[in-house]
Amino acid sequence: MPKTVSELLQARDLPELLRFADGTPVTKDRWGERRREILGILQENIYGVTPPPCPVEAEITATNERYCAGKVRHDTVRFTLHMPEGDHSFPLQLFRPAKAEPSPVIIHICFRPDYPDRYTPIEEITDHGFALAMFDYRDVASDDGDFTNGLGALTVGNRERRPNEWGKIGMWAYAASRVLDWLETVSGVDASRAVVTGHSRLGKTALWCAAQDERVACGISNDSGCGGAAIERGKVGETVARITTVFPYWFCPRYASYSDDVTRLPFDHHFISACVAPRLCYIASAEEDLWADPASEFLAAVAASDAYALLGETGLSPVPEHLPIAPQHFHDGKIGYHVRRGLHYYDREDWLEQMAFLEKHL
C-alpha cells in the first residue's frame, strides 16, 4: 500500500509553521508577525538580506503597436534601478493587449532576452488577456560567482560575502519587485493583479519575490525544486549539499552550512509558499523531473496550506489521500498545483494550467 499524503508529511518531520521561534502558537491575529519572523529566517539562512526598495526609472526606447497583427502593443524599455550605491540599467519588454480595460500583468523572469521564446508563448498569454513584462535575469546580475557586474557590483563587488548577504536569487527577485513598482504607474496595466513567474532557478526566484512582496497577487513556481518550492527534509534528487556546491552564489553563504544535516535548517520550504498567504500561490511539477522532486513540491503545497487555513482561507484543495499522478491539477483553493507528464521545462501546458488557475481566482 503506498503511503498516504499525511503519512508522507509526518515522516518528513517538518519544523512547525504555526509556532513562533520561541514555541508560542501562532494565532490568526499574529500571522503577520510570524510571516515577518519567517522572512527574517529565510533572509538569514537561504537567500540573504534584501535591501530596501530603490527609486526606478523606465525609458521606452521603441514601440510596436502592431505586434501579433495589431492585437498587442510592445514596448522596449530601458529600466534603471537607482540604488544608493549607483545605477544599474537593463532591458525590459512589455506586451499589452490592445483592449480598453486594464489587464492583469504577468512578470516573467526569463532565461533569455529572446521574444517570442520557447518558454514564453507571448501570443497565447496576451490572447488570454494578460499583459506581460519580461526581462533576462542575467541582465540584472550574471548567473555565476562573479559579483562585479549588475546588482552584484553595486552591493557586493570583489569582497567576500557575509554569511547572510544576498545571492543572485535575491537580486533577480529584487529586480522583479522593482519592475512591479513601475508597472503600478503604467496605463493599460492593472498592477493590483500582478503575477510573478519563472522556471527552475527562476521559479525559486519568483517564489521568493512573491513571499516578500505583498503586492504580488500570485507567485508561480514552475519546476523550482531544491532551494525553491520543494520540502528539503527527505527530498530526493537535488539536495542542499549538491546545490550549494554547484551554485553557491544563488544563495547567501550560510545556506551551505546546512549541507551535512538539513534537519538543522530552522525552516523548511513550505515556509516560503506560506509567506504568500492569503494571496494566490502556484506550484507546478513535471512527472519526470526527479531532480526537482515532484513529491516534495506537492507536499510543500499541502504543508503551506496550514497558513491559509489559519487565515480562514483554503490552500491546496482538495487534498487527495495519495500523491497525485500526472496529469492532474488542483485549482480549487488559493494554492494551485499541477503535475504534468514529461521533463523539466516551462511548456505551453504549464502556462495553460497556470492561466486557467489565474482566470478562476485572480
- In the complex, the residues that contact ligand GTR under the rule CB under 6 A are 200-201, 225-226, 238, 243
Q: Of the two residues 272 and 307, which places its CB atom closer to ligand GTR in the complex?
A: 272
Q: Which is nearer to ligand GTR, 193 or 201 (CB)?
A: 201
Calpha distance 254→47 (Å, rounded):
9
Cα gap 8→339, rounded to integer Å: 18
Kindly state the smallest distance separating residue 119's Cβ from ligand GTR, in Å: 11
Of the pair 93, 244, the CB lying nearest ligand GTR is at 244
Query: Which residues have C-beta within 8 Å of that of residue 99, sequence separation ≥ 6?
Result: 129
Per-residue DSSP letter, 259: T
Strands (E), the chain: 56-66, 72-83, 86-97, 103-110, 131-136, 189-199, 216-222, 280-286, 328-330, 335-340
Q: How far is the CB of 266 from ligand GTR (least distance, A)?
A: 21
* Between 227 and 315, CB nearer to ligand GTR: 227
CA 76 to CA 277: how far, in whole Å?
33
Other CB atoms within a 10 A radius of the CB of residue 55 amount to 12
Instruction: Select 112 or 162, whichever has its Cβ closest to ligand GTR.
Output: 112
Mapped onto helix, strand or coil, the DSSP state of residue 327 is: coil
Give the shortest CB-292-to-ligand GTR separation in angstroms: 7
Taking the complex as a whole, the smallest distance from the CB of residue 109 to ligand GTR amounts, in Å, to 11
Q: Name the residue nearer to ligand GTR (CB basis): 211 or 230.
A: 230
Relative orientation angle of helices 31-42 and 201-212, to the nearest 10 degrees: 140
Closest distance to ligand GTR from the beta carbon of 137 (Å): 10
Alpha carbon 278 to chain centroid distance?
15
What is the nearest approach in angstroms of ligand GTR to the Cβ of residue 201? 3
